[in-house]
Structure 1
Amino acid sequence: ISTHDVDLAYSWADYVFFMVDGEVIGEGTPDEAFQDDELLRQAHLKRPMTFDIYKEIERRGLAHGNRQPKTVPEIVDSLKPPELMWVEVPPETREGDILNLGVLHGEYALHCPYEAVNARVLHIHENNKAIVELTRHGIKAGGILIYDMDKFDPSDFEGYMEKEEIDIVGAMGKKSKLLAEDYSICVDIATGVIDRTILMALCGKRCMILTNGGMIPHSMQRINEYIERSGIALNVRVLNEN
């Protein structure tokens, strides 16, 4: 057929000829021909709308597959299936940057109780808004167990280490650190113990804090405050209270 309707030709034809004043000035498949800016200029034609729409989708990183769609339904099918959302981003953010959106839980976690969410910036719009693609990583929340070193018993301690499958040991206070050294207890965390232990527990680790005296209620309070603020449930208890 002969037509000036580029959208029809692009969606329907397998092969096209470009003519000016009865002369063929170019030919090829629709994908090839409609990418030729000079050929379009000579023929006084514009690109098909679906062609330009898909190229913009592709430029913004929202397309998947490598087949150029020719109809509106095909364009819809070409959109990436992963989660996309609008978020506010810092002014210095660039396309392709990876943002850490933190930990989601409850109704916002789709696949497991806790999910660490990263976002790849696909397109930045005005007013520091961006389209991002979410990547979710399941988190198995661990636990924090507190051992009272005022009641330290070597065999009792070894039993707890084995039974509770402890991954990380932190020591707070001079007495706890000296006892740990005397009994060759491997201490993984010796500074910033509470905060760093919480981080390890969020990574799914089973942690033990060695401390004594007034530091026990202080530790419990700090950890429970974090649980209350974040909404993330961590198993926390004192092992040898009695």
Structure 2
Amino acid sequence: MAVLASATPLGGDEGAVDQRARDLEALGIVWDTADAVFAENLAAARAYFAEAGALAAPRHATALDKPVGQWLTDIRKPSGLGKDPVRAERRAQQLAAVDKEWNPALLGWSVDWQRHHVGLKALLKDGALLKGIVSGVTYRGDDIGRWLTRQRRDFARLNPEQQQRLAKLGVQPAVRARTGAGLGSATFTRGLAALAQYAEREQRTVVPRQHTEQITVDGQDHEVRLGVWVSNQQSRRDKLSGAQLAQLAELGLDWT
């Protein structure tokens, strides 16, 4: 890669200069060291995209011996592409040519959400069934099953575009626990709410038998012996309704 340290690389009228500059850039010519560093990192980003299918890299990701995850994190920050608006726009276009959704914040969601969504699509493309993607099913180190459970549970909190993207993959919001209509008693409802709260906080559904969870339901505080409750549901699972089993499965209990 050749580096030309010149702010005005060519002489002549502006249109001819722009065209000749583009021709030289196509041959790998960059005009200063800042652009040279950007080009090297962009090459690493291309390599990462070729492997991962998106530029939603975790911060620790590397490619071509470059810390591409940290680099992408930095350039997504305000003025991360440089203070010169022309240069910044050119760099944004170069990134968009690799992955048009390289900056998920512009779409209204996080890099983490983007990466997990890409992982879910990849698993389904490889032949996985949606019902089989439960807690513990991973893609490139991310627990897609656990993430999917949260998306179903918090579906109403997602923006319309996120909901639409998930719906295209067959993902529907979880059925909320409620009494009546065969969905179970108030005790089951409280236990389910306690398990959801515990799973969200601890990022797992393995509950120590002695654990007690404090929850608030309809403005009232409750103390749920969650470890005992989960054990009881497992021992009597043949007596649970299909709806109850589905609700437990949404939270990642494999034995359902």
TM-score by length of 1: 0.28
Q: Which has the higher strand share?
A: 1
1 or 2 for the larger relative contact order (CA 8 Å, sep ≥6)? 1
Q: From the CA coordinates, give the structure whose radius of gyration is larger.
A: 1
TM value normalised by structure 2: 0.27
